[in-house]
Amino acid sequence: MTELSAAHDAAVTDRNRLAGSAYSSDRDLAARQALYEWKTPRYDLPGMVAEQLSEVRGRVVDIGCGNGTYVQRLRRDRPDLAVLGLDIAPGILAGVPAPVAVADVTHLPLATASVGAALAMHMLYHVPHIPRAVGELSRVVARDGLLVVSTNSARDKPELDDLWQRAAGDVLGTERGPARISLSARFPLEKASAILGEEFGRVDTIELPGTITVHDPEPVIAHMASCRAWADQHDVPFEATIERARTILVDHIAQHGAFEITCLGGILVCRH
């Protein structure tokens, strides 16, 4: 399992970097989301979340809602629910229909036990003190409510890590370059259940394994480039490494017809 250095850890959680760069718009998040269009099996994550919420009534809050994938789907599929989107990045919220607000998961502007469900999808790894965030999520969820969380496994997309290290090695003139930054390494699927279990009596994990198969390098290159907010964390020129990765991918696809990426993510459904 990849352990982040203290510098990477600080960079992945740095609020100025998150709100001012990584999520100042949805450009980079959308590039990461788009790669899943080539994944099989295709999981309808917002649909799976809506299904988990079938017994929920009243208010639902999506924290770290990003560009509003879940907010918009829940409002469409469950017009009976009052769905609020919260995020620390005002820029990314600009494209999400109201009601939305700027808020931090560790200081939620919500009364105790006031929501039927809370979502924290692919966001807890950006929080400096994850147990504090989980405590705050537990506070706002009603006793009979639920929390839905998602994150990636430490074994997610190893082929992209390998491609990066090969490309970085070529740029630096060494066999393999330094590892790229991993966002979800601070909260991998393998550890998520135990961390959430500190506050929630029951945590059910739904694993989402699959394979991304591309015949064109661009979606992969766009995904790699989407970490440009952390370009300074790579100990190798970022743009040059991306360009070298493109060349390696073009060659690989010409030789094998496709490039495959192994994925493992998961959804955790938590109850008090």
Ligand X SMILES: C[S@@+](CC[C@H](N)C(=O)[O-])C[C@H]1O[C@@H](n2cnc3c(N)ncnc32)[C@H](O)[C@@H]1O
Based on CB atoms, which residue is closest to ligand X, 31 or 163?
A: 31
- Binding test (CB under 6 A) with ligand X, winner from 63, 167, 189, 203: 63
User: Judged by CB, which is closer to ligand X: 121, or 160?
Assistant: 121
| 137 lies in the site for ligand X, by CB under 6 A | no
* Total number of residues that touch ligand X (CB under 6 A): 19
User: Based on CB atoms, which residue is closest to ligand X, 127 or 245?
Assistant: 127
Interface with ligand X, residue 17, by CB under 6 A: no
**HEC sequence for the chain:** CCCCCHHHHHHHHCHHHHHHHHCCCCHHHHHHHHHHHHEECCCCHHHHHHHHCCCCCCEEEEECCCCCHHHHHHHHHCCCCEEEEEECCHHHHCCCCCCEEECECCECCCCCCCEEEEEEECCHHHCCCHHHHHHHHHHHEEEEEEEEEEEECCCCCHHHHHHHHHHHHHHHCCCCCCCCCCCHHHCCHHHHHHHHHCCCCEEEEEEEEEEEEECCCHHHHHHHHCCHHHHHHCCCCHHHHHHHHHHHHHHHHHHHCCEEEEEEEEEEEEEC
Per CB under 6 A, 87 contacts ligand X: yes
Task: Specify the residue for token string 């009979």.
Answer: 144
Residues 88-117 that bind ligand X (CB under 6 A): 88-89, 92, 104-105
Of these, 12, 29, 185, 220, which contacts ligand X (CB under 6 A)?
A: 29
Binding of residue 123 to ligand X (CB under 6 A):
yes
Applying CB under 6 A, the span of 73-81, 118-126, 195-203, 232-240 interacting with ligand X comes to 118-126
Residue closer to ligand X by CB (options 23, 259) is 23
Closest approach of ligand X to the CB of residue 79, in Å? 21
66 binds ligand X (CB under 6 A): yes
Shortest distance, CB of residue 200 to ligand X, whole angstroms? 19
Shortest Å distance, C-beta 119 to ligand X: 7
Which 218-237 residues touch ligand X, going by CB under 6 A?
A: none
Six token digits for residue 27: 């450009």
Question: Is residue 23 within the footprint of ligand X (CB under 6 A)?
Answer: yes
Among 65, 249, 268, 270, binds ligand X (CB under 6 A): 65
| By CB under 6 A, residue 69 contacts ligand X | yes
Pairing of β 100-102 and β 82-87: parallel
Phi, psi of 213 (to 5 degrees): -125, 120
Least spacing, CB of residue 49 vs ligand X, in Å? 10
Nearest CB to ligand X, comparing residues 123 and 168: 123
CA atoms of 133 and 187, how far apart (whole Å): 12
User: Quick check: 181 and 2 in contact, CB under 8 A?
Assistant: no
Does residue 18 touch ligand X according to CB under 6 A?
A: yes
**Rounded Cα distance, 80 and 94, in Å:** 24
Catalog residues that contact ligand X under the rule CB under 6 A.
18, 23, 29, 63-66, 69, 87-89, 92, 104-105, 121-123, 126-127
